[in-house]
Amino acid sequence: ATTEKASSSGDGDGESSAASSTVMEDFDRETVLTQLRGMSVKELRADCSKRNIRWATMIDKEDLVQALAKAMEESAGFSLSGALTAGEVTEVTAAQLEQELSGPAKTPLLLDVYATWCGPCQLMAPQLQQAAEELGDTVRVVKIDSDKFPEWSSRLKVGGFPTVVVFDREGKEAQRIEGAVMKKQLIELAQAHTT
């Protein structure tokens, strides 16, 4: 069997890849490996980057596949979409957010609805990352761009940016705050819904 070199380029620029769209509740390694192997190197690298996997030294396509499969397996019990990593803020698509809220999940979800042009949103971004790091695997922390996915702003009846919404394990809204929130308050907000 020949191995495709990672230096070859793929044509896939799709927003949602097979790796991100796989439901991870019951992790099936062989199915995931098959889906990953069907992706282009470009798509694999993009998914590695989203998961903070350093891929620059990975020469073979299979190295990328194995690294992604390992990361997906580790996050399988944490993320319903397979796209989230514990201790990280993940920017999600509408489809990924839908999956994450389909419940039941092991942890609540903290969502930041933001806009790229919003000053308070930019101020809050590092605070959200620090909160995610401290919360670890106790809370799923995500953000969604309201300009890319306006249907979620409408669906959640967002009146201002940023809006932080906490969802319980069943995917039901539990609490929300509008305006920039600092790390301590983000952690307190999330932890209030972990029990």
48 carries an active-site annotation: no
Give the model's pLDDT for residue 27.
Answer: 72
Give the model's pLDDT for residue 99.
Answer: 92
Report field, pTM of the whole predicted structure over 0.85: no
Say if residue 171's pLDDT is above 60: yes
Say if residue 140's pLDDT is above 60: yes
- pLDDT tier for residue 26 given thresholds of 50, 70 and 90: low
Determine whether 185 is exposed, middle or buried from the number of CB atoms within 10 Å of its CB (0-12, 13-18, 19+). middle
Q: Phi and psi for 90 in degrees, rounded to 5?
A: -110, 130
Residue extents of the structural domains in the chain: 18-75, 89-191
- Mean residue pLDDT across the chain: 85
Q: Classify domain 89-191 by CATH architecture.
A: 3-Layer(aba) Sandwich (3.40)
Per the model's pLDDT, the better-predicted residue between 80 and 192 turns out to be 192
Alpha-carbon distance 55 to 45, whole Å? 7
Selecting among 53, 94, 95, 118, the annotated active-site residue is 118
pLDDT in tens, 106-124: 899 999 999 999 999 999 9
What number is the average pLDDT over the span 29-56? 90
Letter string b/e over residues 68-95, b meaning 16 or more CB atoms within 10 A of that residue's CB: bbebbeebbebbbbbbbbbbbbbebbbe
What number is the average pLDDT over the span 17-21? 40
**Residues making up the chain, counted from first to last:** 195
Selecting among 24, 71, 80, 121, the annotated active-site residue is 121
1-10, 17-26, 132-141, 166-175, range with the lowest pLDDT: 1-10
- pLDDT tier for residue 25 given thresholds of 50, 70 and 90: very low
